[in-house]
Amino acid sequence: MSRENNTVEPSYLDYKGKYKGIFSWILSTDHKRIAILYLFSLLAFFATGATLGLLMKLELIAPGKTIMTAQTYNAFFTLHGIIMIFAVVIPGLPAVFGNFLLPIMIGAKDVAFPRLNLLSWYFYVAGVTLVLISQFTGQGPPDTGWTFYAPYSFRTTGNMLPAVFGAFVLGFSSILTGLNFLVTIHRMRAPGMTWLKMPLFPWTLYATGWVQLLATPIIGITLLMIIAERTLHIGFFDPTLGGDPLLYQHLFWTYSHPAVYIMILPAMGAISEIIPTFCHKTIFGYKFIVASSIAIAFVGYFIWGHHMFTSGMSGTALYTFSLLTFLVAIPSAIKVFNWIATMYKGSIDLQTPFYWALGFLFVFMIGGFTGLILGSLATDIHLHNTHFVVSHFHFIVFGGTGFAFFGAMHYWYPKITGKMYDTRWANTGLIIFFAGFITLYGEMIFLGMKGMPRRYYDYDEVFHTGNIFSSLGAIVMYFGLAVIIINLIASLRNGAKAPSDPWGGKTLEWTIPSPPPVENFDEIPVITKGPYNYK
Amino acid sequence: MENEKNHIIPYKTFLYVLAGLIALTLTSVTLTQISLGAMTVTIALIIAAVKSSFVLSIFMHLKFENKMFSRAVIGVILLLSAVIAITLLDYLNR
Amino acid sequence: MNTILVTHRDDLASKTGMWLFLFTEMLLFGGLFIVYSVYRYRNPIAFHQAAHELSIIIGTINTIILLISSTTIAMSITAIQKKNKKLALLLLGTTILLGLAFLVNKYFEWGEHFKEHIYPGSAVLASRGHGDVLFYGLYFFMTGLHALHIIIGLIFILVVAVSIFREKINPENYVLLENSGLYWHLVDLIWIFLFPLFYLIT
């Protein structure tokens, strides 16, 4: 490569390739540029999903019809679910931060299959486009919820086919990303980086990769069956043709439960990076964290039935799934203990990413405890169809994955953009967001315990006060999110130049300039020590 | 990165394996013509499993590749069996 | 801008990638096998009787066709390793022809069912009861999806054959041929299970 200014390798942001302008992004096979493509598309979808969520909470601020009809509410929670699950939290950390950092953290120049990587972004965008098309064509938007439960999904007149096929395409994108990461980790670690010298974020991506690879095909085929059912009347899940709707739920959750671990594992990985960096201390129990990631991925595959406790499974299946569900809490708890033990006697540097990590620990534990309550058969029967479940789910997925996503965003922002952000605004945004979050979802726990059913646009007058709190919380949270994102965007322009290692991190990404050069490393590093080597 | 030397399998081996596979297929078909009651399906599936192990180890070179591949294949098969077993746990006990 | 980034070649990585992809295919069909086992357990007699209507002869012939085609593509790898381009192409050509023969058989087999008004959604099939509806629903869906994989495999092999002809695939670099072989064997493997489950449960 001959350039005038040959002394310094150009950063991936400045590099001039074959294509100009927008094409230098959407035709790029550089893992860093693909990560940015994911980041911006993902933020756009996140904004859409969050706005739908806010509108739903506004509807619930008073009983009866407030701003939308029941049918609109159904369409909104369906679209909110599909977008947030399939297009935001599942690809979230792997596709954005995994793409950007995995090759750098293991000392490689790119992922194993760069063109496949770009292809999976195209699948991602195509999938979301199909989902959005379903909203505006045919006989009205889908209204089944993101779970597409049979037999409603093939009886409703809503425009299901593009939405279901869109989810299928999104699954394909996720499989390709997972496959790519697995091969990358197997084949492209820097010399000397043995499995147990690999940082924890790549480790969780590895565990996630297997789940993406081995669970997603099940939902792929299930969605194809729904399509066949609607178009060809095959009768897989239609009770009038001898099918069993419960079998749909089995298959659906065989994927969608492990999918929760696709969401949470990389989040745990990001937290495992942030905590040692800001404690300036080696992570406590590295091997246990690695083993618990694998254990979560493995056990997580066999506990799907706890989504079906009230669906009418056999007693034996109920007990088994309940027992296995409790088992999965063990490795999750191991991680939490290890993170806290890492902080013990560390020299803690209170920066924004660390606050996010603390927030993560807090909300993740609430999510975990409410999960144990739902994992017990008797309590689940009371709580299953109430807002308690909605709250538990958001504490885990928004609280867990979402907090880790923003934590990672603030942690790696200097590396990705080459700029520092405004810490004061970042912390202010976090405080507003956190206050809104706790009010919104915390209140929902109590509403659920009192018996407020989920999936309705209306409710009994008894729940009114709680819902006012909860909806106000939603407004505050939405405002906090806006502050956080606007601050990050404004810092692109106004931020000070970031040094290569602003936080004193020890993993490989901090050894190269910010933003990283096109080829990441001038010379592939040789690894001799473990990843968190603080003296 | 250097690509390690590949194992060359002689043509003959493939033809032997093919003969074996066809023989197994015909056995399987013949056995189902004789009524074996509940055993029919079990036997047919055992034969299918034997056939697939031939295809996997010889045709798909698993016998000659890095052990990692065979381990992964076994893992995936076990995983799928476990999922089927757990699903049936519900249906067999309803 | 990828030219400078991808300079090295790693055959083991491509093969690993292919195997991982095959795992997803296994689980794709695995989902259908779950459905099959559940419905067979619930409708044993209907499945048993419906299976009688499938032609064991066509099924057996198709099984053998696929087994031979798997052998020929496996042998073509040996041929290319021994630098015998002509034989490799001949063997791949045979594989493609056998794959087409499989599809032709399938066409006639399905045609027979359609003549008897046995297809998903037909009134005749619906009148025969739930077990039959499920059996034929699964039969058409699983063999249909399998046939789709045959078609994809044939296109893949055709591309590989053209690359061998142009010497893009050569005795030094034939991992793509190996990968197409792996895919084709997987299609064969799935059929090895579909065959007894639909044709031999009489």
CB contact under 8 Å between B59 and C70, yes or no, is yes
∠ CA A20-A97-A442, rounded to 5°: 130
Task: Determine the pLDDT at residue C14.
Answer: 94
Q: For residues A341, A342, A347 and A349, what is the CA-based torsion angle, rounded to 10 degrees?
A: -110
B44 and B73 share one domain: no
Tell the burial category of A260 from Cβ atoms under 10 Å away from its Cβ (0-12, 13-18, 19+). Answer: buried
Confidence label for C5 from pLDDT (cuts 50, 70 and 90): very low
Task: Determine the pLDDT at residue A185.
Answer: 97
B53 and B69 share one domain: no
**Arithmetic mean of pLDDT, B33-38:** 73
Rounded Cα gap, residues A513 and A499, in angstroms = 7
* pLDDT digit string, tens, across residues C147-179: 999 999 999 999 999 999 999 999 999 999 999
ipTM, 2 decimals? 0.93
- pLDDT above 90 covers what percent of chain C? 84
Domain that holds residue B72: 65-94
Task: Determine the pLDDT at residue B66.
Answer: 87
Tell the burial category of C25 from Cβ atoms under 10 Å away from its Cβ (0-12, 13-18, 19+). Answer: middle
Q: Splitting chain A (535 residues) into consecutive groups of 10 residues, what average pLDDT does each group show? A: 52 83 90 96 96 96 94 94 95 96 96 96 96 89 92 88 95 96 96 95 97 96 94 89 93 95 96 96 95 94 94 93 94 95 94 97 95 94 95 95 97 96 97 97 96 94 95 97 96 94 94 93 91 84
- Of A187, A250, A315, which has the smallest distance from its Cβ to B93's Cβ? A315
Q: For residues C72, C76, C79 and C80, what is the CA-based torsion angle, rounded to 10 degrees?
A: 180
Which of C43, B47, C80, B83 has the alpha carbon at shortest distance from A317?
B83
Task: Determine the pLDDT at residue A535.
Answer: 67
B35 part of contact set with chain A, CB < 8 Å = no
B15 and B28 share one domain: yes
A509 part of contact set with chain C, CB < 8 Å = no
Residue C4 pLDDT more than 60? no
Q: Which residue does chain A place closest to B80, by CA atoms?
A: A214
B46 and B87 share one domain: no
Average pLDDT, chain C: 92
B37 and B20 share one domain: yes
Which of A186, A203, A227 has the alpha carbon at shortest distance from A287?
A203
Which amino acid type is present at position A338? N
Rounded Cα gap, residues B74 and C60, in angstroms = 27
B12 and B27 share one domain: yes
Confidence label for C3 from pLDDT (cuts 50, 70 and 90): very low
User: DSSP code of A456?
Assistant: -
Which residues make Cβ contacts (< 8 Å) with residue A122, sequence separation at least 6? none
B19 and B52 share one domain: yes
B56 and B25 share one domain: yes
Tell the burial category of A61 from Cβ atoms under 10 Å away from its Cβ (0-12, 13-18, 19+). Answer: middle
Distance from CA of A326 to the nearest CA of B (A): 17
B45 and B21 share one domain: yes
* Residue B3 within any structural domain of the chain: no
User: Are the beta carbons of C194 and C142 closer than 8 angstroms?
Assistant: yes
| Region for residue C121 given its phi and psi (left: phi exceeds 0; alpha: psi -120 to 50; beta: otherwise) | left
* Residue B1 within any structural domain of the chain: no
Can you give the three-state secondary structure of A82-111, one letter per residue?
HHHHHHHHCCHHHHHHHHHHHHHHCCCCCC
Tell the burial category of A220 from Cβ atoms under 10 Å away from its Cβ (0-12, 13-18, 19+). Answer: buried
Question: Helix, strand, or coil here: A419?
Answer: strand
Which of A98, A88, A140, A175 has the alpha carbon at shortest distance from A402?
A88
B21 and B50 share one domain: yes
CB contact under 8 Å between A218 and C31, yes or no, is yes
* Residue B2 within any structural domain of the chain: no
**Arithmetic mean of pLDDT, C15-21:** 96
Q: Token pair 């034929």 is at which residue?
A: C136
A65 part of contact set with chain C, CB < 8 Å = no
Contact residues on chain C for B19, CB-CB shorter than 8 A: none
Task: Determine the pLDDT at residue B65.
Answer: 86
CB contact under 8 Å between C10 and A186, yes or no, is no
Which domains can be identified in chain A, with CATH numbers? 28-511 (1.20.210.10)
Question: Helix, strand, or coil here: C170?
Answer: strand
Task: Determine the pLDDT at residue B5.
Answer: 54
User: Are the beta carbons of A400 and A370 closer than 8 angstroms?
Assistant: no
B14 and B56 share one domain: yes
- Of B79, B87, B94, which has the smallest distance from its Cβ to A301's Cβ? B79
CB contact under 8 Å between C5 and A186, yes or no, is no
Q: Which CATH class is domain C71-202?
A: mainly alpha
Residue C121 pLDDT more than 50? yes
Size of the A and C interface in Cβ pairs below 8 Å: 129
Q: Where are the domains of chain C?
A: 71-202
B54 and B75 share one domain: no
Q: What's the number of CA atoms in the CB half-sphere (13 Å) around residue C47?
A: 22
Distance from CA of C190 to the nearest CA of A (A): 15
Question: Helix, strand, or coil here: C2?
Answer: coil
| Cis ω for the linkage preceding A517 (within 30 of 0) | no
Distance from CA of A308 to the nearest CA of C (A): 17
CB contact under 8 Å between C200 and B32, yes or no, is yes
